[in-house]
Amino acid sequence: MRIDIVTIFPEYLDPLRGALLGRAIERGLLNLDVHDLRRWTYDVHKGVDDSPYGGGPGMVMKPQVWGEALDEVCAGEPPRLVVPTPAGRPFTQAMAHEYATESRLVFACGRYEGIDQRVIDDASTRMRVDEVSIGDYVLVGGEVAVMVMVEAVARLLPGVLGNPLSAEQDSFSDGLLEGPSYTRPEVWRDRAVPEVLRSGNHKAIDRWRRDQAIERTFARRPDLLAALPPESLDKHDRAL
Ligand code: ADE
């Protein structure tokens, strides 16, 4: 997969080249390019923003600069363009899976009060464009949101995770939060690992894990439990 990111703070995205994603890049599983938006500015001040029509606080990013940048970065086979904004549709694990099947993603990081809407409307005539929010809070700009989304997508690419079962057993993959995990030692500060996990009885372990996932989801995210199709819960689940 190829990912391009356009931003006025390219160095902000440097951490994406470390750890797991850095290895994916080295191994050629992910091709990541970060572009400085100021490359496409056309005045001596390298201006990227201006005051909003209609008045109000903050600044809006200029359409001419973004238009030129996206024309160049999105040239060739049209990519899927993702624009992070608190006014977007919520980003979910299902979207991460969908993005992981794309051959090309372009992320356009806005700052200030956002990007002139005509940039998004114009790009939408040539490619799929998603305005996406990573949660109900407001960040200073789209860079951190892009890091979140790129990490969520990249770990789903074939070969990126050492053990592909890790992605399959994620929280959300079956609509439930994952339950607790334990490792050695068996007893730590007088706290023992639950007996069943040491029993070697895999059927009992699976059942215990499912019970824990349901109880945790009920306590922390009842909205997720309510959204599950009723047939995905068995008799034992419903009795909890
Ligand atoms: N930019 C600012 N806040 C954001 C959010 N919550 N999600 C995506 N992009 C943003």
Of 118, 144, 164, which closes a domain? 164
Domain shared by 196 and 86, yes or no: no
The number of the ligand 1 atom at minimal distance from the alpha carbon of 132 is: 8
Specify whether 136 is located in the same domain as 192.
no
| Pocket lining: 133 vs ligand 1, CB cutoff 6 Å | yes
Residues 185 and 160 in one domain: no
* Least-confidence region, from 35-49, 73-87, 163-177, 180-194: 163-177
Query: Which atom in ligand 1 lies closest to the alpha carbon of residue 134?
Result: 7
pLDDT of residue 191: 98
Which 8-state DSSP code applies to residue 105?
E
What's the gap in Å between 192 CA and the centre of ligand 1? Answer: 41
Ligand 1: centre distance to CA 91 (Å): 10
- The answer on 26 and 132 residing in a single domain is yes
Catalytic residue list contains 155: yes
Q: Bigger pLDDT: 232 or 171?
A: 232
In this structure, the answer to whether residues 156 and 190 fall within a common structural domain is: no
Given 129, 146, 164, which residue is the final one in a domain? 164
Nearest CA to ligand 1 atom 5: 86
Are 52 and 19 in the same domain?
yes
* Residue 137 sits in the same domain as residue 199: no
Q: How many CB atoms lie within 10 A of CB 201?
A: 12
Summarize the confidence of residues 104-112 as an average pLDDT.
94
The answer, yes or no, to whether ipTM is higher than 0.90 is yes
Q: How many domains does the chain have?
A: 2
- Domain span holding position 194: 171-239
Residue nearest to atom 6 of ligand 1 (CA): 86
- Is residue 98 predicted with pLDDT exceeding 80? yes
Whether the per-residue pLDDT at 173 is higher than 80: the answer is no
Query: The domain that contains 48 carries what CATH number?
Result: 3.40.1280.10
Contacts by residues 115-123 (CB-CB < 8 Å, ≥ 24 positions apart): 115/60, 115/61, 115/63, 115/66, 115/83, 116/60, 116/61, 116/62, 116/63, 116/66, 118/63, 119/61, 119/63, 119/66, 119/67, 119/70, 120/83, 122/63, 122/67, 123/70, 123/74, 123/81
Residue 112 has pLDDT above 80, yes or no: no
